[in-house]
Amino acid sequence: MAENQSQTFSEMQENGNVTYTEVAGSTNRDLETMLCLSEESNLKIPEYHIVITDYQENGRGQGSNQWHSEAGQNLLASICFYPPLPASRQFVFNEYFALSVRDLLSAHGVEAQVKWPNDIYVGDRKVAGILIEHAVIGERIRYTIAGIGLNLNETDFPEDLPNPISLTQITGEQYDAMSMAKELVACCQARAAQLQPEEWAALDDEYLAHLYRMEEWAEYEIHGKRREARITGVDAYGRLRLQGHEEIEQWCCGMKEVKYLINSGL
């Protein structure tokens, strides 16, 4: 196993800033393995390195969610980052990356919103899911792996998926996954300055401006109880703020403490 992993790392270095494999267990896990091997070899993987595959056998979304994708039809990739962020402000990266994905879609004529914490929606339908994982040392982020599953050309989704949509269903066009991955990296690079502390407030404002259901009344399950509420913001730790009809009804929820109940992707 170690010999095969070392060979993969060597090939990665030779092939520049993209590692492609036809089938992967998980692109996040593959990139994590490469990062660990790079530390052992004192060869730092370059920022924005992409690991991309046609099919993931164990693709994951947030929490215990699974990510479905027909082989060869969608963008399944993970990207390496070294964000200059304290560990306590990890959600800044979530905002930055979700908005970069939104930029990519906008460049192709598709206006999207970010569904907290970082799914990407067009209308009430999910076009992309994001899985962000940080490696933390002390009070700093050592590296970040940002995985994305973006529905590109798929049109026949399983019936048990509640609300998927693909770019081709929206635009009628066909898309190349590798080209889209490289375009996404360019979008990330264009926003890189927003990871600096002096830009965080503006990044927060932009994230909220494109947040799905922001200030809209809707049904949620909050701390196990069904309630009508509206999203009012996100705190510095990435928790969702909601307000009920009564002034005293205010909640600040982590991922496991709130569920979207109508047209939900959760």
Domain boundaries, the chain: 2-209, 217-260
Tokens of 131: 């899985």
Cα dihedral: 209, 211, 215, 218 (round 10): 160
SS3 at position 57: coil
pLDDT in tens, 223-262: 999 999 999 999 999 999 999 999 899 999 999 999 999 7
The reported pLDDT for the residue numbered 68 is: 55
Residue ranges with strand state E in the chain: 18-24, 50-56, 75-81, 113-115, 119-122, 125-137, 140-150, 217-222, 225-234, 240-243, 250-253, 258-260
Which CATH architecture best describes the domain 2-209?
2-Layer Sandwich (3.30)
pLDDT in tens, 136-157: 999 999 999 999 999 999 998 8
Residue 7 has pLDDT above 50, yes or no: no
pLDDT in tens, 190-233: 999 999 999 999 999 999 999 999 999 999 999 999 999 999 99
SS3 at position 82: coil
Residue 67 has pLDDT above 60, yes or no: no
